[in-house]
Amino acid sequence: STRTPRMRGSSPVGRALPGLLLVTGATAFPLSPTGATVLQTFPQLFGPKAAFASKGSPVSGSSGLSRIITSHTCRAGTHRHQSLPRLLLRGGASGLRMYDRDTQGDTEAGLAREERKMEHSNQVRQKLEAIASGEKGLGKVRQHVNPLKSQFQIPTEAPNWSEVFGDPSLPMHLDIGCGKGRFILELAAINSDTNHFGVEIREPLVVRANKWAQESGLANCHFSFANMNASIRTILKGYAGRISLVTILMPDPWFKARHHKRRVVNPEFIEALAEEVPSGARLIVGSDVKDVYDDIVYVLGNSTAWAEVPGGSDEWPLERQTERQISVQSRGEALYHSVYTR
């Protein structure tokens, strides 16, 4: 913009020309081409050592400053607009310091926040390595994980099927939300003619379950860490065999109405799942929460890709049950399940 900065109260306000700053002392002010008007109007703000600089150029007279960073749109003379890097310059015993919003964070607090994130990531990695090696137990794991967090929105790629399964041409049983994994570990032990693939959003459980599978010598069982709502179109790519069975059992209920959007079964997911499995594949869904079960049945009932198997809810159709099912039954509480075909 080439317009003259407007005056709002005692602050000069106007659009800055990208790449142009007024640098003085420990403050950087973006200026329009007519920024001299601001200088002339408020000389007490800047002082005699004010200097003009363009993006990337050194600023004479400013010890410790190597370059200037500006935003494309900002309020001249203020640091309130989010597109203006805050505290571009900070004074200290070692002279002026520069903060690049794009690469380092715009304040010392931002830098410290990035360091904490990196430290946390290293701690998580070390914990997972210790679980995999058997040096450490599982420890405390969150019972519910919010699948809508940004960290879970990156699709997980399919594993190398020939590395994780002894025979990747066998039919597959896909268990979505496999938890601790004991359910499909037991099924894999008694069904050697099927590959069992468990997907879970809590990574420590996945690492431990894979350790159990390796210790048991099961070449037909593998677990992957993923958010299936974000990964349904990627995680099954390249599988040579036929996906014959999908189970979604005891999913996180997310009771509060505002949290229902976190539930794994929704119309978009069910349609995406139908595109990834062949015709004739079975889908078994179950829950011990009537509201969750009814919601799943409603979604599937409104899908043209899935048909309910008559009488599928009478008897449990598999040789094993999940730990949650066993626990609920031991307390004499109700369980609900249905069977569908693609």
246: β partners: 174, 283
The torsion angles phi and psi of 223, rounded to 5 degrees, stand at -125, 145
Q: How far apart are CA 128 and CA 139, in angstroms?
A: 11
- Quickly list H helices, the chain: 36-41, 43-46, 108-133, 161-164, 182-190, 203-215, 228-231, 267-276, 290-301, 323-330
Phi, psi of 94 (to 5 degrees): -95, 15
- Has 167 been annotated as catalytic? no
Beta bridge partners of 175: 198, 247
The answer to whether the beta carbons of residues 250 and 311 sit under 8 Å apart is: no
Catalytic residue among 193, 252, 291, 295: 252
- Strand partners of residue 7: 12
Catalytic residue set: 252
